[in-house]
Structure 1
Amino acid sequence: MDVRREVALVFPGQGAQQPRMGADLYGADPAFTSLLDEFFAASGAEGARLRDDWLSAHPGPEFDDCSRAQPLLFAVGAALAAAVIARGLRPAVLVGHSVGELAAAAVAGVFSVAEGSRVMAARTTAMAETEPGGMLAVAASADRIREALGGDLAGHGVAVAAVNSPYQTVLSGGETALRAAERTLTAQVVACRPVKARQPFHSPLCADAAIRFRDLLKDVELRPPALTIRSTCTARDVTAAESVTPEFWSAQLARPVLFWPAMDDLLTSGTRVYLEAGPKGSCAAVLQLHPAVQNGRNVVLPLLPATPGSDPRATRHLFDESVSTALAMTA
């Protein structure tokens, strides 16, 4: 018997960015195009530079810096959501990984897209004085990492930045400490992969940045969400009281992303189709490991390909196919 599913949108975070991600929908899908034009216009001169970087097949090395990657992930994610909603799919829940949570907030109406340009600029400004660093994806649990490193992570200058699954943890820290941890883990046959990031997000090194971000957010009007947001900072739904406090949205800069705990409860408690509002694989690959997806109870569909291709029709076809499948599952 067919099961009628709810729709959930999942927004990826730093590391998922790709040159020209979703660009083949620009000018082809009215809702997608309109939202991005609104975001770029609200961002002024910086918006024009962001647009140029996004549309370039070969952007400069700064593309992976948070000042470029995160505003674009925010805008493309929100634009994909607008396109999905315009096709008749109203999401029952929104989930964002790191900066993706701010995209979820914009889609839920906590702040407008134009205000979102100010939020993203504030986030970049807040991070500007943070010690350079990065993040490292490790194919192991946090306990296994502690065992391999021989003790407390703080003693090695690193911290757990994200719990993506029971078998994938992201570490964050300064450049020297992170490279040392990578060498030690690799020597013990623990697979590691650097995340495309230049800052030590979701670590104690960002504590001062979180305070600066909080103070800058006081100039943005925050409203209760019109859609449910499952927070990956707290692993539960965002409350109306939390949503209107700058402290809630700023605190995630220095706290770990609890992606798996947040998703585990959702996946085991409902029957949904999850649409990944970003380049294929950044979140979907993790969700595919969950038993409630493997048994068919929940379905995960990408809205964009993993990397841009030479045929612009491929992106539009994948988006149309995923939305059509989701519409059929929710009818």
Structure 2
Amino acid sequence: MLAIVCPGQGAQKPGFLSPWRELPGVEESLASLSEAGGVDLLRHGTESDADTIRDTAVAQPLLVAAGIIAASSLYQGQDLAPADAIAGHSVGELTAAALSGVLGDEDAMRLVAVRSQAMARAAAAEPTSMAAVVGGSREDVIATIERHGLHAANINSAAQVVAAGSSEQIEALAEDGPAKARVIPLQVAGAFHTPYMAGAREELAAFAPGLQPADPSVPLISNAGGEVVASGARYLDLIVTQVASPVDWEACMGALRDRGVTAMIEVAPAGTLTGLAKRELKGIALANLNTPDDLEAARALVREHAGSAAPDQEN
């Protein structure tokens, strides 16, 4: 069974789209996606520096477009079976919506434009940030996060929880963290996936009814507890609430395990989610699709593993 996964904000790197522009049709696709997303994807993906693409309003459209381009290139001109499951981390769920057929590519870009700008505005309202807590016992980590008045915004794995809240609270957590754990402040200007994003949730709720989602053609696993999304309408409900609710990637990996995943491909910019899978889904085959040079290895994985889900695992 093959899963395709889509990374979230923070995975972007300066120039990471440069190798893809050499493929036929990619520059034209990026131009179309840029128009829908209101961002110059070619410039930001090939020329802009790290500080520029760290901006939420730039990073999120860039990540969704990159995933669409990489996945399209994987299948273009190939007789390959579709993935057996698709999932995305945070903004990666918008990439996943495009790859699973819930949204067209341009609608996914329109949605991420609204999402990213709304989240940037919410983040600018007051100084907030996030920090990764690595190690320690889950019970102690959550208790310490809550003791500091913070929120567990991302449950990334058994060994990693991301805390979010005011900048002062993050500093206090770094000084007084859980036992046997490291607290690593993240370079983000916002407490994403917490009540601080309530304004962004309201903006998305106002925009979403203008979209016409389809039901997923491939099982789409949600950050909301690893739920397998059965309808386009349910997807929109979940993606609206997601901006102010925790991302439970550990549950997503659990859902993939339960479905019998044997291989995972992470679309560009890849490495974060396959890194977590290496520790949490031991023994599965992994491929990072970062450049066109990775396409043949990824296609070999598709040929070997796609379409192998047992009948009672399908929906």
Is 1:129 aligned to residue 119 of structure 2? Answer: no
SS at match of 2:139: helix
| Number of the residue aligned with 1:144 | 140
Letter in 1 for 2:272: S
Give the one of 189, 201, 206 matched to 1:215: 206
Out of 227, 240, 252, the position equivalent to 2:242 is: 252
User: Closer, same or farther in 2 for the Cα pair 1:68/1:180, shift >3 Å?
Assistant: same
Gaps of 5+ in 2: 308-315
Say which SS state the counterpart of residue 20 (structure 1) adopts: coil
Say whether 1:323 aligns with 2:313.
Answer: no
Amino acid in the other structure paired with 1:64 = R
1:125–1:330 CA distance, 2 compared to 1 (3 A) = closer
Letter in 2 for 1:262: C
Return closer, same or farther for 1:77/1:320 CA change in 2, 3 Å cut-off. Answer: same
* TM-score computed with the length of structure 2 as normaliser: 0.86
Partner of 1:73: 63
* Structure 1 residues 329 and 220, CA gap change in structure 2 (3 angstroms): closer
SS in structure 2 opposite 1:185? coil
| TM-aligned CA deviation for residue 279 of structure 1 | 2.7
Report the TM-score, using the length of structure 1 for normalisation. 0.82
| Kept in 2: contact 1:93–1:230 (CA 8 A) | yes
Distance 1:92 1:255 in 2: 26
Q: Which runs of 5+ in 1 are unaligned?
A: 1-5, 305-314
Match of 2:215 in 1: 224
The residue identity in structure 2 corresponding to 1:302 is N
User: Judging changes above 3 Å, is the alpha-carbon distance between structure 1 residues 216 and 10 closer, same or farther for their aligned structure 2 residues?
Assistant: same
Find the aligned partners of 1:264 and 1:112 in 2 and give their Cα distance: 28
Equivalences, count = 301
In the alignment, the residues of structure 1 paired with residue 305 and residue 229 of structure 2 have an alpha-carbon distance, to the nearest angstrom, of 27
Instruction: Give the deviation of 1:325 after TM superposition.
Output: 3.8
Out of 223, 227, 238, the position equivalent to 2:229 is 238
The residue type equivalent to 2:43 in the other structure is: D
Contact 1:24 1:316 (C-alpha < 8 Å) held by counterparts: yes
CA distance in 1, matches of 2:42, 2:250: 32
Offset, 1:201: 0.7
Give the 3 Å change call, closer, same or farther, for CA 71–232 of structure 1 in structure 2. same
- The Cα offsets for residues 254-297 of structure 1, whole Å up to 9 and x where unpaired, read as 1111111121132243143110112332111110112xx42x3x
Partner residue in 2 for 1:274: 264
Asked if 1:99 corresponds to 2:87, the answer is: no
- What does the per-residue CA deviation read over 1:125-169, in whole Å, with 9 as the maximum and x for residues that have no partner? 32213434222111135422245x3xxx34523110111111111
Distance 1:329 1:234, change over 3 A: closer
- CA 1:258/1:145 → structure 2, altered by over 3 Å: closer, same or farther? same
CA offsets per residue over residues 1-58 of structure 1, 9 Å max, x none?
xxxxx3211001111111122420223254x555433211323xx432x3212111x5
Look up the match of 1:117.
Answer: 109
Amino acid paired to 2:209: K
RMSD: 2.3
> 1:126 is matched by which residue type in structure 2?
A
Residues 71, 120 of structure 1: 8 Å contact kept: yes
Residue aligned with 1:136, SS: strand
Letter in 2 for 1:299: A
Cα distance, 1:299 vs structure 2: 1.5
Give the conservation status (yes or no) of the 8 Å contact 1:66–1:199: no
1:185 equivalent to 2:177? Answer yes
1:162 equivalent to 2:158? Answer no
> Given that residues 109 and 225 in structure 1 are in contact (C-alpha distance below 8 angstroms), is that contact kept between their aligned partners in structure 2?
yes
> How far 1:60 sits from its partner (Å)?
5.6
Query: How far did residue 178 of structure 1 move?
Result: 1.3
Q: 2:286 aligns with which of 288, 295, 300?
A: 300
* Number of the residue aligned with 2:52: 62
* Amino acid paired to 2:122: E
- Distance across 1 between alignment mates of 2:72 and 2:130: 30
Following the alignment from structure 1 to structure 2, what is the Cα–Cα distance between the partners of residues 211 and 142?
Answer: 31
Aligned to 2:32: 38
